[in-house]
Amino acid sequence: MTDRHGLAPLSLDRCSINTATLGHRLPIEEVVDLVAGFGFGAIAPWRCDLDGRSVAAVARRIREAGLALSGYCRSTYFPAATRAQFKANVADNLRALNDAAALGAPCFVLVVGSFPAGERDLDAARVQVAEGLALLLEQARACGVSLALEPLHPMYAGDRSCVTSLAEALAICEALDPERRGGIGIAIDVYHVWWDARLAEGIRKAGEAGRISAFHLCDWLVPTRDLLLDRGMMGDGVIDIPKIRGLVERAGYRGPVETEIFSRDWWGRPEREILATCAERLTRCC
């Protein structure tokens, strides 16, 4: 049975839980066991989940639970007020990229940042982002982990990301990898791209270039009470998630479908309730 977009229902073994969805309240070992116990096929940990832990031990725990990884989150912002700080940011991202490889993640999700505090030059921030990505690209290729550049909603242009559209992210990828050797792609998060009048064209072009590295789901609530911490559970907002999923799959993406929700509301609920709701909404609304 298919829906109005010609999509078959998602099976949980194709779905992933980004650990931010649970609010980082439990140790990663417990989160792994919970996610596997609910029947999800993959997990996407954050760097903070690994603080004080052996990357190899966490990787082993994930494998033993029968989970794959859909990605590893997320980068340190690239732009900096000084050259020394910029180099430190690149080095930190290089360490995280190597951790992503040790975990077995297919991609390292990059939220690139914007101009440093007190500055106003978006173009200069974009130059630093492009340089930072270029400095990581060969290692990404060497370790087999794609740099997944995630464009954010334009409301974050002043702090979290100077890359605010799918077209802009794709242009950066093409400029850094014109021969399409790989190692750099795009993370498509419906929360950040659903508004874009050129979304269908951008997804098609990203698919043609083999650039879709990750696909993230949540929903946009109306009204939105907080620009960062009020994402909705799938089906509770206004995003036509099946339509976007259809575009992504017709563009050739067959990877995990990842739930990533930042929400004070959901973080106040038990982890089992969150996972049960994710499972129900992924199979019914997406």
Question: Residue 284: pLDDT above 80?
Answer: yes
Contact 217, 195 (CB under 8 A): no
What is the pLDDT of the chain when averaged over all its residues?
97
Q: What is the pTM of this model?
A: 0.97
pLDDT score of 5: 74
Structure tokens at 203: 């997804």
Q: Where are the domains of the chain?
A: 12-285
- Domain 12-285, CATH homologous superfamily name and number: Divalent-metal-dependent TIM barrel enzymes (3.20.20.150)
What mean pLDDT is predicted for residues 62-91? 98
Structural contact between residues 58 and 39, judged by C-beta atoms closer than 8 angstroms: no
In the predicted model, what is the mean pLDDT of residues 233-251? 98
SS3 215: strand
146: β partners? 107
What is the structure's pLDDT at 30? Answer: 98
Q: Are 178 and 155 in contact (CB under 8 A)?
A: no
In order, the DSSP letters of 256-274 are: -EEE---BHHHHTS-HHHH
Predicted confidence band of residue 6 (pLDDT cuts 50, 70, 90): confident
Residue 89: per-residue pLDDT: 98
